Structure 1
Amino acid sequence: MLPGEARALSVPTCSAAARCEQSPPHPCFKALICDKIRSAASSTRKAAELPGSSGPLPTGTGTGTGTGTGTGTGTGTGTGRRLLLSTPIFYANGPPHIGHLYSALLADALLRHRRLRAAGTDEHGLKIQQAAAAAGTSPAELCERVSALFRQALTRAGVAYTDFIRTSEPRHQRAVRHFWGALGDAGVLYKGSYEGWYCTPEESFLPESQLAERTDSQGRPCKVSLESGHEVHWTKEENYMFRLSAFRDPLHSWLRDNPRAIFPNSFYQCVLRWLDEDLPDLSVSRERSRLQWGIPVPGDPTQTIYVWVDALVNYLSVLGYPESHGAWWPAVHHVVGKDILKFHALYWPALLLAAGLEPPERILVHSHWTVRGQKMSKSLGNVVEPSVCMGQYGVDGFRYFLLRQGVPERDCDYYDEKVVKLVNSELADALGGLLNRSTAPSINPSNTYPRFSEPCFPKVLDCREAKGTGRACAEDYELMAAVASLPAQVDSYFQGFQIYKALECIAQCVRQTNGFFQRHRPWKLDRRDAGEQLWLDTILHVTLECLRVYGMLLQPVVPHMADKLLSRLGVGPGERGLTGLTFLARYDGKPCPFEGRQLGPDTGILFHRLGKSETVKRKQEAQVPDKQLL
């Protein structure tokens, strides 16, 4: 639920943003992803116009210099605008699940070619304190162990963050104290008595309308959260309050002037509806006697700054707030789950405005994952761990599944058979099979990028004119048109936070290309006949050109597999940019830089098919690392 809401508050029901109960609505470790983007008119490669960059992801450390997407992991200098993309702040009370990874993968794919700049965890709050006590350890030790799990999961999944910030770090605590001081100077904080039903796992007070009567394990009556099922306890204490009620009009103005500030639109509309409801002042501290694990209120050692205020400032502390954040803020895009929408779309912008800062540029919201139609829950034993899945399906296989099946506007369902069916069909069979068949020594003994024959595939204004003009048929021209328009389509979907639609378009084109290859049966053609050889080479040229485009467009999603595909085609690292991506240049009478070039070495099957027995074995083997770390 939400912090600081009075018991009488009626929380509006919004199906588009109803909380998914698979994880507590708290940040924890945060992956912030940022890069400066060269977008000067004189640049021949405007990375700002595309979801990816025109080169490989920078991996160095230090200060970047503005060339293309920059190098290094520092803030960088140079021409163009900067952009920071952040994951949610994952809560450090337990190991990561696929919901955490999904957020990080969305951020990673959106800006993979620009540069990732930060990731981190929220390590304060009563829930951390209680989880540590239950584990027989200190909060600091618990956070250290869980932080390692998140780092491991993100690194293994290929999420190339360049900073991983923890709310227990000195740089963050200093930023929080300064931010609190700014709120105090603005006169938006006051001390008042607060009471209500408090849910520790959700770190928030719940109104009566969000509670239900239940019986606990001892048979005693109790109240629980309707949404999560967690037990609540009546709490009365003196807290500092934030005058949220004073920011209704400023928030309305911000959203009215920025209709794409919250995306998808269904979540934007939901926030507008929230603004039309009651907007009570917010409790922003807790009594120190009850919550020691957190940052003390400056000047009042009896109070601890509320975990969500502490955590949200994380987005500023990673940028060097209060000194150097201005180089980046407010060019920030937050990627968050719908369960924390209210924190990021109402409370955070209001706090920023109160502190004299602008709200973030965009808030990109996604829905959550269920497992066979049920919410993920430890009690149900159905929590899906990323490390297990990556061992089961491979890193790229699991990345592809989450980004291909995840739809921001609605919850998506997970089960093992669904993953196996998808990756086998689209990665192993359709894409991998096409690469294997078109580069096999039996069909391409010279291991080269064959030449294109214009007489075999003549240029036509209308695919219906194709009949009788060459060897290509109308369906072949339809394929060519589909692949030629694919880069723009994919770019549009990335810009619209619809990666799943981009992958759907790619998968459809891959199917069409397989149809093209199967339709013309190049293995049946006689190389000894000059005419047949020209047509055979043309078929292979078109197929490899299609594969090259697919490999380049898939780089943000399945980076290792895309690299393997492009390397097999002989496409060098400097030839993999998305801006100015060409397709079948010879059809337009232009030279093709790959024609006649030697293909790269055959490094084996692009993606191995997954069998049931194999995935079970992988799953069992993959369960060991995280358990050892815990």
Structure 2
Amino acid sequence: MFYTLGPHIGHLYSAVLADAVARYNTMLGHKTFLTTGTDEHGNKIKTAATTAGLPNLEYCDKISQQFREMCDRFEVDYSRFIRTTEKQHCDAVHHFWNRLEERGHIYLGKYSGWYCVSDEAFLSDTELVEQKDSIGKVIKVSAESGNTAEWTEEENYKFRLSAFQDDLKYWLKDENTVRPALYHKTLSEWIEEGTCLQDLSVTRIRNKVPWALPCPRDESHSIYVWMDALVNYLTVLGYPNESFKEFWPPIVQIIGKDILKFHGVYWPAFLIAAGLEPPKTLLCHAHWTVDHQKMSKSKGNVISPFKAANDYSEEGLRYFILREAVPQNDANYSSTKIVNTLNSELADSLGNLVSRCAGKAINPSKEFPDPAKYWNVLRSQAADEIREALESVGKKAGESYDEYNLHHVVDAVMSMVHSANKMVAYHEPWQLRKRVDDADSINELKAVISLALESSRIAALILYPIAPRLSSGLLDFLNVPKENRMWTDTTPEFFNSGRAKERHIENNNVILFKKIRSQ
């Protein structure tokens, strides 16, 4: 779920990471439902719309379309794109609110404390630091974001968050509830200490927050934007219609580390209070820096996915982002590294492997020789290494996908591809092709081509969740049937003797990834 202030590279990372996880699970044979969308309420949106000189809804229409376009251009295959200004969502939020109220979890009370408009968050003293503003006045700001907080005193509706400490502890008993382990530890400490478990104000006086959903039975109050936004996960599945239970609870929700409190404290507590199960797993990821500096408008280093795609292509940028990022550590966006990574791995390593063994000089008849027939023909250490790599890469990559470590998935594939290229270089198929009258040489040539193209096939399957457009193009080129593109197909065809193996590759030459010139 995105904030509507325009997409940047961090938003793209969340979206393509979620898409990759969904695609991998689809390859495993699971039925998946991927949702994303835009959170469009709150004073932050109203302020941005005013700055842009647009009515609130017109501003949201414009920005939401940018996020939808980002998802579409970068192959995010969402099942539902939701906007929190939709009537269906408003109805779902009101139903959810009434459910909490009926079960005795909401009451009218007094709130006094610090509220950060920019972060749309209530902050405790431990989450604040003091700074001096431009005129030397001491102000309170969020220690996390640096945004200003204001002291607020008003009567509003509160949620009995303090009653859910034991329930949250129970939810966190499973170490897989929050991944990576770093964030599970952080969240567990918060819950144990209880500092973030004071009863939560879930409304504001409506004339202070007019661009928000009104409370169902008291329209003088607006529903807290984070309760509104979080309910989107239910709305997309048809809540409160019983059909939502087909995909509830979510197997994984993917979030940035800056919103861990909202998804790891408030959301599971809301759900438990409503009698619903919380998510099975929260996958929390770190942020992106640019040349090792935090992205900010003041520095002018906020990276637009659209502009970056003009330089590196949508598929190249998607591949780099998922290849570079490590969930528990901030990732660094560097133009130099992007060019080096894409050229080295996609153009030179994988691209070169395909082009050498599919080109006219070595493979004029466009054969993809049966891997089962030619699996053990080559007798060399280089051939042994690629066979060993092919046998193990699917298991290694699968374990890394299960751990949400996509960078290790790519590491495993590239190690295999390097072994394949090493095997090709050792056996010199361009020399073997010259000895067309020698049966042993032709047999060896076909074995080289077979192992190389089998390496390409398995690489394309494993990389499909990460680079779907590139992988699909390669699998089409290799004439791999659509029904043979599941995770079980990452096993070398040598071990699947029941499948028809003899096939030819496409007649047209393929440029897997066009090499990028340095900027």
How would you bin the TM-score normalised by the shorter chain?
over 0.9
What is the match of residue 328 of structure 1?
247
Q: 1:193 offset after TM fit, Å?
A: 1.8
Q: Match for 2:443: what amino acid?
A: L
Q: Match for 1:304: what amino acid?
A: S
What is the match of residue 498 of structure 1?
405
What is the match of residue 466 of structure 2?
557
Q: 1:220 offset after TM fit, Å?
A: 4.6
Q: 1:221 offset after TM fit, Å?
A: 4.4
Query: In the TM superposition, what whole-angstrom CA distance separates every residue of 1:423-450 from its partner, at most 9, and x where no partner exists?
Result: 1100010000111111110111111113
Q: Match for 2:515: what amino acid?
A: R
What is the match of residue 436 of structure 1?
355
Q: 1:531 offset after TM fit, Å?
A: 1.4
Query: In the TM superposition, what whole-angstrom CA distance separates every residue of 1:267-289 from its partner, at most 9, and x where no partner exists?
Result: 11221111111221111111111
CA distance in 2, matches of 1:263, 1:382: 29
CA distance in 1, matches of 2:257, 2:470: 31
Q: TM-score, normalised by structure 2?
A: 0.93
Long gaps (5+) in structure 1: 1-88, 459-469, 614-630
Alignment of 1:363-378 (within 5 A): 363-378=282-297
**What secondary structure sits across from 2:385 in the alignment?**
helix
CA distance in 2, matches of 1:320, 1:330: 13
- Counterpart selection for 1:531 from 440, 445, 448: 440
Query: In the TM superposition, what whole-angstrom CA distance separates every residue of 1:30-89 from its partner, at most 9, and x where no partner exists?
Result: xxxxxxxxxxxxxxxxxxxxxxxxxxxxxxxxxxxxxxxxxxxxxxxxxxxxxxxxxxx1
Q: Does the alignment pair 1:231 with 2:148?
A: yes
CA distance in 2, matches of 1:329, 1:591: 38
Q: 1:136 offset after TM fit, Å?
A: 1.7
- Cα 1:222–1:274 change in 2 (3 A) is closer
What is the match of residue 611 of structure 1?
517
Alignment of 1:541-552 (within 5 A): 541-552=450-461
Larger RCO: Structure 1 or Structure 2 (Cα < 8 Å, ≥ 6 residues apart)?
Answer: 1
Q: Does the alignment pair 1:142 with 2:48?
A: no
CA contact (8 A) 1:542 1:584 kept: no
Q: Match for 1:577: what amino acid?
A: M
Q: 1:366 offset after TM fit, Å?
A: 1.3
Query: In the TM superposition, what whole-angstrom CA distance separates every residue of 1:109-139 from its partner, at most 9, and x where no partner exists?
Result: 1112354443211111111111112222221
- Counterpart selection for 1:573 from 460, 473, 482: 482
CA contact (8 A) 2:34 2:78 kept: yes
What is the match of residue 153 of structure 1?
70
- Cα 1:437–1:209 change in 2 (3 A) is same
Q: 1:604 offset after TM fit, Å?
A: 3.5
Query: In the TM superposition, what whole-angstrom CA distance separates every residue of 1:156-177 from its partner, at most 9, and x where no partner exists?
Result: 0000112111111111111111
**What secondary structure sits across from 1:602 in the alignment?**
coil
CA contact (8 A) 2:371 2:501 kept: no
What is the match of residue 421 of structure 2?
514
Q: Match for 2:397: what amino acid?
A: V
**What secondary structure sits across from 2:172 in the alignment?**
helix
Q: 1:500 offset after TM fit, Å?
A: 1.5
Query: In the TM superposition, what whole-angstrom CA distance separates every residue of 1:549-603 from its partner, at most 9, and x where no partner exists?
Result: 1111111111111122112222222322222443151xx69466333x2211325
Identity %: 42
Q: Does the alignment pair 1:267 with 2:183?
A: yes
CA contact (8 A) 2:326 2:407 kept: yes
CA distance in 1, matches of 2:299, 2:285: 24
What is the match of residue 192 of structure 2?
276
- Counterpart selection for 1:171 from 79, 84, 88: 88
CA distance in 1, matches of 2:232, 2:496: 54
- Cα 1:457–1:449 change in 2 (3 A) is closer
CA distance in 1, matches of 2:282, 2:378: 51
What is the match of residue 208 of structure 2?
290
Q: Match for 1:397: what amino acid?
A: G
- Counterpart selection for 1:599 from 487, 505, 508: 505
Where is the helix percentage greater, Structure 1 or Structure 2? Answer: 2
Query: In the TM superposition, what whole-angstrom CA distance separates every residue of 1:328-374 from its partner, at most 9, and x where no partner exists?
Result: 22244211111111111111111111111111222111111111111
- Cα 1:536–1:593 change in 2 (3 A) is same
- Cα 1:451–1:193 change in 2 (3 A) is closer
CA distance in 2, matches of 1:534, 1:504: 31
Q: Does the alignment pair 1:479 with 2:391?
A: no
CA distance in 1, matches of 2:33, 2:57: 27
Q: Does the alignment pair 1:380 with 2:299?
A: yes
- Counterpart selection for 2:98 from 177, 181, 189: 181
- Cα 1:589–1:176 change in 2 (3 A) is closer
CA distance in 1, matches of 2:511, 2:468: 16
**What secondary structure sits across from 2:294 in the alignment?**
coil
Q: 1:482 offset after TM fit, Å?
A: 1.4
CA distance in 2, matches of 1:180, 1:428: 53
Q: Match for 2:392: what amino acid?
A: S
CA distance in 2, matches of 1:225, 1:255: 26
Q: Match for 1:558: what amino acid?
A: A
- Cα 1:366–1:453 change in 2 (3 A) is closer
**What secondary structure sits across from 1:193 in the alignment?**
strand
CA distance in 2, matches of 1:245, 1:169: 31
CA distance in 1, matches of 2:231, 2:464: 32
Q: Match for 2:314: what amino acid?
A: V
CA distance in 1, matches of 2:22, 2:245: 21
Q: Match for 2:322: what amino acid?
A: L
Q: TM-score, normalised by structure 1?
A: 0.77
- Cα 1:396–1:183 change in 2 (3 A) is same
Q: Match for 1:565: what amino acid?
A: L
Runs of 4+ residues over 6 Å off in structure 1: none
What is the match of residue 309 of structure 2?
390
Alignment RMSD (CA, Å): 1.9
CA distance in 2, matches of 1:612, 1:602: 28
Q: Report the count of equivalent residues.
A: 508
CA distance in 1, matches of 2:370, 2:446: 6
CA distance in 2, matches of 1:237, 1:281: 15
What is the match of residue 426 of structure 1?
345
Long gaps (5+) in structure 2: none
Q: Match for 1:430: what amino acid?
A: S
What is the match of residue 126 of structure 1?
43
Q: 1:244 offset after TM fit, Å?
A: 0.6
CA contact (8 A) 2:35 2:236 kept: yes
CA distance in 1, matches of 2:510, 2:170: 57
Q: Match for 2:284: what amino acid?
A: V
- Cα 1:581–1:507 change in 2 (3 A) is closer
What is the match of residue 210 of structure 1?
127
CA distance in 1, matches of 2:218, 2:499: 70
What is the match of residue 218 of structure 2?
300
CA contact (8 A) 2:358 2:509 kept: no
- Cα 1:202–1:121 change in 2 (3 A) is same
- Cα 1:381–1:311 change in 2 (3 A) is same
